[in-house]
Homo-oligomer: A and B are copies of this chain.
Amino acid sequence: MKDSKRSSRRQLLQMGAAVGGGLLAKHEQASAAENKPGQLGIPLGPYGERSPFEKAVRWRRDTKTPETGSSFTPLQDSVGTLTPSSLHYERHHAGIPTIDPAQHRLVIHGMVNRPLSITVAEIRHLPSVTKTLVLECGGNSGSEWAAKNGPDVQRSFGLVSCSEWTGVPLRLLLEEAGVQPGASWVIAEGADACRMERSIPIAKAMDNILVAYGQNGEALRPAQGYPLRLLIPGWEGNANVKWLRSLKLTDQAYMARDETAKYTDLMPDGKARIFTYQMEAKSIITFPSGGQTLPGPNLYELTGLAWSGRGRIERVDITTDGGRSWVKAQLQEPRLPIAFTRFRLPWRFDGREAVIASRAVDESGYVQPTREALIAARGLNSAYHFNGIKFWKVQTDGTVTNVEA
């Protein structure tokens, strides 16, 4: 910490004219322009909104069925390690249901001794835990397989977000219901129109899954499953069933559409890997990134986000010369397991073309692979679970573009 403080300071002292150069004359000019003295501001209010000057929004493709599809978090505007709930990515299959929590029930049935129907109010007063966790769609950055890369970090990597979640350990509910011997799967079903279903092995269900009702200090947002959803640490978003209404204990997987036709990995030999739930280590530079422009040669903070479904981020390496050399980035503490870790590196753009990328290493020792290594292992049939290293090109005029693979 001391060392990293000293290093930041050294960096800043080198910045010279970059930051400085301001004069008191400028001060007077600025204060007159920005705010008329004596003019009262806006009154205190019951519920605050963001500044009208802040325009970041989720992005989605125009389609005839906007109830099914994805909307992408504007990672290029992210700061810190959390995603604002209003900007959390979406991936829905039949739109967002409007659910009255007073009417909603979570039912636990199938191979249990005591079938339960639990109200939301009851769940909110059970023993709870809070965890900051990343959620990533299994299809995030899938276009990178075919090198049909999105032009910016939002459209290519924006199906990932991080929130503080609060809920009841699923294990407690299952123990209350009494799981019968032989029950090996939990079939989770949502209350959306398509009754989205996923199969979860009982071992994971008894480990660390949450039935979450809280997100970033308040109730879940409707787009994230209000009033109840599953939170499965480290597993692809789709399995974290939203608008949770039913958990059925069975002795076999359900082989639902979203675990057979979708979210599977078609391998080079034509066979598909299924139930590949866990998301591997990944990282992405958010500044500078595609579509942004550096105003000129200067010292900048190069920054981005790293995460892993396996646990903590241990290290992030940065290259600014297309992968020939790598240096360690500073990691924001605390590094929480299966959460965004913000990384940073002061970097001088000197007006020469630079090809930049980040490479995450997690606490299991897993190293984020190159795109080429991923393709060598898994071929080009897959649309899911891409976690290859991502390069951006900073051009001599400061514009930043995607690097065609």
**Complexed CA–CA distance, A110 and B115 (Å):** 72
Residue interface bits A149-181, CB-to-B below 8 A is 1, else 0 = 000000000000010111001011101110000
State the interface size on chain A (CB cutoff 8 A): 134
A46 and B51 within 8 A (CB)? no
A179 to chain B, nearest CB (A): 13
- Oligomeric state, in copies: 2
Q: Taking CB as reference atom, which chain B residue is nearest A213? A: B79
Question: Which residues on the B side are within 8 Å of A102 (C-beta)?
Answer: 53
B45 and A223 within 8 A (CB)? yes
Q: Which of A300-355 touch B at CB < 8 Å?
A: 300-301, 303, 332, 334, 336, 342, 344, 346
A99 and B44 within 8 A (CB)? no
A266 to chain B, nearest CB (A): 26
B82 and A43 within 8 A (CB)? no
**Complexed CA–CA distance, A45 and B89 (Å):** 10
A130 and B342 within 8 A (CB)? yes
A44 and B24 within 8 A (CB)? no
Residue interface bits A98-138, CB-to-B below 8 A is 1, else 0 = 11111111011100001111100110111111100000000
Q: Taking CB as reference atom, which chain B residue is nearest A294? A: B125
**Complexed CA–CA distance, A257 and B117 (Å):** 58
Is A22 an interface residue, CB under 8 A from the partner? yes
Question: Which residues on the B side are within 8 Å of A76 (C-beta)?
Answer: none
B125 and A41 within 8 A (CB)? no
A195 and B37 within 8 A (CB)? yes
* Subset of 5 A-B contacts with CB under 8 Å: A19-B122, A45-B58, A82-B217, A128-B301, A216-B216
Listed in ascending order, the chain A residues whose CB lies under 8 Å from chain B are: 5, 8-9, 11-13, 15, 18-24, 26-27, 30-31, 33-35, 37-54, 56-60, 66-67, 69-71, 77-88, 90, 92, 94-105, 107-109, 114-118, 121-122, 124-130, 162, 164-166, 169, 171-173, 175-177, 191-193, 195, 213-214, 216-224, 226-227, 245-246, 287, 295, 298, 300-301, 303, 332, 334, 336, 342, 344, 346
